[in-house]
Structure formats: structure tokens, C-alpha cells
């Protein structure tokens, strides 16, 4: 059965007119049906049709096998290129995400440092207990960020 499928490998462009291609497809279907259902004496006739087709179309079969191999190679090459492109895009995206995360972290640190500088002159101020609580909160935020 595999031999049959490998031999009947013509495409539409191998035929000068549509009707010739349709005749080929009908013959292909008829042989496929006979092989699948193993119809007694019809099976021997089917095997003879396949051998006859192989002899008459040897060059065409080889040409089509070569063409199919080239198409497979081209498809594999394109798929490999697409895989590599997707991987590079994924890597680029992950790097951008990491850069964004680092930038946000740096911005948070700058805001916290600005708050510390802002409240530092107020240590002797009457509200210094409030400032002390603020510093404790800042330290806790820094601890959480490190985790």
C-alpha cells in the first residue's frame, strides 16, 4: 500500500488540462478502494495496474519524488527559521520585561530616597515620632522589596 502512495504522486500542475488530472484522481481512488477492500481477483488486476503505471511513469515518479523532497527541505528550512525568529522575539520580549522591571525598581528606590531626604531635616520637629514611624515603614518596604 505504501508503495502505491509513493508512486501515485502527481500534482495538478503535472497535467496539461483539468480533465486529465480528474481522470488521474479517479484512477487513484479506484486503486485505493481495491487495495483497501482487497477484492479477490480485482486485487491482482490492481497490482498489475500499479506495476504498469510504475513502468510507464518511472521518470515522472522520480521527478515528483525529487520535487517533494525539495519541498520538504524548504518547509523544514522555513519552519526552522520561524522557530528561531520566535525564540529571538521571546528572548527580546523577556529582556524588555526585565529592563522595565529594573526601571520600576530603580524609580521606587529614588522615590524612597527622596522621601528620606525630605523628612531628614525634621528629626527635631515636634512631629518626629510620626517621622520615626515613617522611617520604620520605609525600612519595612525595603525589606519586602528585597524578598
List the one residue out of 42, 70, 56 whose CA is nearest residue 8: 56
pLDDT on residue 77 = 97
d(C-alpha 75, C-alpha 68), whole Å:
10
Lowest mean pLDDT among 52-56, 81-85, 86-90, 94-98: 52-56
* pTM for this prediction: 0.50
pLDDT on residue 123 = 57
In the numeric block, the cell 527559521 is attached to 81
Q: What percent of the chain has pLDDT over 90?
A: 34
pLDDT on residue 113 = 83
Q: Is the pLDDT of residue 54 over 70?
A: yes
pLDDT on residue 121 = 61
Q: Is the pLDDT of residue 107 over 70?
A: yes
Q: Who's near 95: CB < 8 A, 6+ residues apart?
A: none
As a whole number, the mean pLDDT across the chain is 83
d(C-alpha 121, C-alpha 23), whole Å:
96
Q: List, for residues 6-17, the tens digit of each pLDDT value.
A: 778 888 888 899
For residues 128-141, give the mean pLDDT: 66
Amino acid at each position: 500500500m505504501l508503495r502505491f502512495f509513493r508512486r501515485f504522486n502527481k500534482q495538478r500542475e503535472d497535467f496539461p488540462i483539468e480533465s486529465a488530472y480528474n481522470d488521474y484522481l479517479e484512477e487513484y481512488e479506484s486503486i485505493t478502494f481495491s487495495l483497501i477492500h482487497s477484492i479477490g481477483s480485482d486485487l491482482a488486476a490492481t497490482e498489475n495496474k500499479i506495476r504498469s503505471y510504475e513502468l510507464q511513469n518511472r521518470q515522472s515518479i522520480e521527478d515528483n519524488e525529487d520535487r517533494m523532497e525539495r519541498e520538504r527541505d524548504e518547509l523544514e528550512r522555513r519552519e526552522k527559521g520561524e522557530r528561531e525568529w520566535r525564540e529571538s522575539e521571546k528572548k527580546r520580549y523577556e529582556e524588555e520585561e526585565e529592563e522595565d522591571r529594573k526601571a520600576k525598581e530603580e524609580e521606587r528606590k529614588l522615590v524612597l530616597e527622596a522621601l528620606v531626604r525630605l523628612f531628614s531635616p525634621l528629626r527635631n520637629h515636634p512631629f518626629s515620632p510620626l517621622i520615626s514611624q515613617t522611617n520604620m515603614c520605609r525600612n519595612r518596604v525595603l525589606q519586602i522589596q528585597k524578598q
